[in-house]
Amino acid sequence: MSCPGLWTRREFGWLSGGWLLRPLLASLQASRGPWDDPAEVAVVYLAADTPHWPRPDLDLAREHQEVSARLHQYARQHSTYLRLVDKGILRRAEEVPSFVNQLGDVDGVLMVPLCQPTPPLQPLVQQLPVPAVMFSRPYATHGWSAIAGLRKSGCRVAVVASSSYSELDPYLRAFRTIRHVRKSRVLVGTENPAGRQKLADEYRQRFGTEFRFVGGKFFEEAFRRVDSTTVDREVEKLVKEALRVIEPSPQEIRNGVQFYLAIRDILRREQVNAVTIDCFGTLAANTLPGYPCIAWSKLNDAGYYGVCEADLNSAVTQLVVTSYAGVPGFVSDPVFDVGRNEVIHAHCVAATRMLGFDKPASPFLIRNHLETNEGATLQVLMPGGQPVTVARFNGPRLMLLSTGEAIGAVESDRGCRTQLRTRVTDARRWLDSYQAGLHRVVFYGDHTRAIEILSQLMGFEILREI
């Protein structure tokens, strides 16, 4: 038996057949910026003038050469997201300040101990302005035993202790996310920037992300510049791709598509990769020319970020998790049903490629915005039978985190248009301790370990909600 108002896996499969969105937007893909460059990571080898361990007659030059060759072979295989820069060997603590001053614009440091002792280790980690990973091969050093304590003292550092170089994968990919976040530029549309400026400054200082505040008139001007022939063509494509159109008028759909094209032009012109608008505030002020819902779906499908309600915490959550995991986020208003141990995630904006940018899109209907009964948005029929990660920053020093299982899409005339039912381990516990605002961001897949690694290197704490 299926739950009332719930699309079963069989029904979902039938609906999705033949209703896939077209390939990712080529025009957007061609306008990538510095946030998509590979991470640049400095590699430094740690040694001593006289090694004791793993053996006193260790040939440090040969050891350095062998490890360096393996690492640069690894970097060539992962060149889409990684560049390694060899910075030689540090043997004494006194060499650390000069090394740090000559680092340049790197995203992180890979420390490779060659022997024991390693006098530069502690001062290096304490003085680095960027995060670091120690790659501790078996028998190389005892220095790994200091890492947890250094991290507890506030240093952004992690350790990989393994004979396998592939164990570096999740950590070096994290450097790519760190670069993505610090090079990202977020456009915030609001008539009241003062209410969000402090939080934006905190994220910029902590992660490097840049924020620019604009009013609704900024979007209205871009909206007017859009070519009408292009709007006609995009409207026709969208309507053909939809299962059906229910409430919106042709003009409401046209306004939504025109707004998307305006945002697309803004991304190119302003060199930003994320936009979040105080939708209700700007609409109430009559400074927004149309609903941004379709635009956000399109952007999130293409690896950019369209985020509801000028929610900076959810926007940065998506920057971090999406850039690492390769799946878009779904900003939601959770609805608890503790009797069933379920949480329904609901919102009127959703990506269609929630399983990944290279995966088939979910089917969708074109609906109006439920809370206002106007505008146009996509009701996305999300799949079930998958693990999900639910996360949200509460400022740059704390991320809220939980996991669950997606059961399937929900059809309801209450709440928001797109709804995803999830099963969790303890809905009552989560409800009783719920904090830090309404929104949460849903990502398909279990990304717990990835977020733990990112927390070590980016310097935020994790609070497990369930």
pLDDT tens, position by position, 135-173: 999 999 999 999 999 999 999 999 999 999 999 999 999
Asked if the model's pLDDT at residue 251 lies above 60, the reply is yes
Are 333 and 347 spatial neighbours (Cβ–Cβ below 8 Å)?
yes
- Please report the pLDDT score of residue 17 as a whole number: 34
Residue by residue, DSSP assigns 178-191 as HHHHHH-EEEEE-S
C-alpha atoms less than 13 angstroms from C-alpha of 4 in its C-beta half-sphere: 2
Contact partners, residue 166, CB within 8 Å, separation at least 6: none
111: left (phi over 0), alpha (psi -120 to 50) or beta: beta
16 occurs within a structural domain: no
Report CA torsion sign: 45, 46, 48, 49.
Answer: positive
2 occurs within a structural domain: no
- Please report the pLDDT score of residue 280 as a whole number: 77
138 occurs within a structural domain: yes
Among 7-16, 111-120, 225-234, the minimum mean pLDDT is found in 7-16
**Residue 18 pLDDT level (bands cut at 50, 70, 90):** very low
Which element (helix H / strand E) includes 112? strand 108-113
437 and 310 inside one domain: yes
244 occurs within a structural domain: yes
Contact partners, residue 221, CB within 8 Å, separation at least 6: none
272 and 219 inside one domain: yes
- Please report the pLDDT score of residue 117 as a whole number: 97
347 and 430 inside one domain: yes
261 phi, psi to nearest 5 deg? -65, -35
**Greatest Cα-to-Cα distance within the chain, rounded to the nearest angstrom:** 80
Q: Residue 413 and residue 206: Cα distance in Å, rounded?
A: 41
Asked if the model's pLDDT at residue 396 lies above 60, the reply is yes
169 and 190 inside one domain: no
- Please report the pLDDT score of residue 288 as a whole number: 80
165 and 219 inside one domain: no
364 and 269 inside one domain: yes
192 and 63 inside one domain: no
- Please report the pLDDT score of residue 52 as a whole number: 95
- Please report the pLDDT score of residue 28 as a whole number: 52
Name the residue range of residue 409's domain.
184-464
410 occurs within a structural domain: yes
Read off the pTM.
0.92
Among 26-30, 300-304, 353-357, the minimum mean pLDDT is found in 26-30
172 occurs within a structural domain: yes
Point out the domain boundary residue: 178, 198, 220. 178
C-alpha atoms less than 13 angstroms from C-alpha of 292 in its C-beta half-sphere: 29
- Please report the pLDDT score of residue 282 as a whole number: 65
Report CA torsion sign: 161, 163, 166, 168.
Answer: positive
The CATH number of residue 428's host domain is 3.20.14
> 3-state DSSP call for residue 130?
coil
Among 1-5, 234-238, 297-301, 441-445, the minimum mean pLDDT is found in 1-5
322 and 404 inside one domain: yes
- Please report the pLDDT score of residue 23 as a whole number: 36
Nearest to 420 by CA among 376, 381, 363: 381
Per-residue pLDDT of 312-340, as tens digits, reads 999 999 999 999 999 999 999 999 999 99
Q: Residue 35 and residue 388: Cα distance in Å, rounded?
A: 26
Per-residue pLDDT of 45-72, as tens digits, reads 999 999 999 999 999 999 999 999 999 9
Asked if the model's pLDDT at residue 7 lies above 60, the reply is no
Point out the domain boundary residue: 178, 197, 227. 178
387 and 299 inside one domain: yes
Give the percent of the chain with pLDDT over 70: 92
Encoding tokens for residue 102? Answer: 């000559």
411 and 431 inside one domain: yes
| Count of domains forming the chain | 2
Average pLDDT, the chain: 92
Hey, what amino acid is at 283?
L
**Residue 196 pLDDT level (bands cut at 50, 70, 90):** very high
10 occurs within a structural domain: no
Asked if the model's pLDDT at residue 307 lies above 80, the reply is yes
Encoding tokens for residue 466? Answer: 């369930």
- Please report the pLDDT score of residue 265 as a whole number: 97
- Please report the pLDDT score of residue 109 as a whole number: 98
**Residue 279 pLDDT level (bands cut at 50, 70, 90):** confident
Point out the domain boundary residue: 136, 153, 178. 178
**Residue 283 pLDDT level (bands cut at 50, 70, 90):** low
The CATH number of residue 141's host domain is 3.40.50.2300
194 and 105 inside one domain: no
209 and 134 inside one domain: no
Q: Residue 418 and residue 69: Cα distance in Å, rounded?
A: 50
Q: In what order do the strands lie in the sheet with 305-308?
A: 210-214, 185-189, 274-277, 305-308
Give the percent of the chain with pLDDT over 90: 89
11 occurs within a structural domain: no
Q: Residue 460 and residue 388: Cα distance in Å, rounded?
A: 21
- Please report the pLDDT score of residue 11 as a whole number: 35
Are 196 and 188 spatial neighbours (Cβ–Cβ below 8 Å)?
yes
**Residue 290 pLDDT level (bands cut at 50, 70, 90):** confident
Q: What is the DSSP letter of 168?
A: G
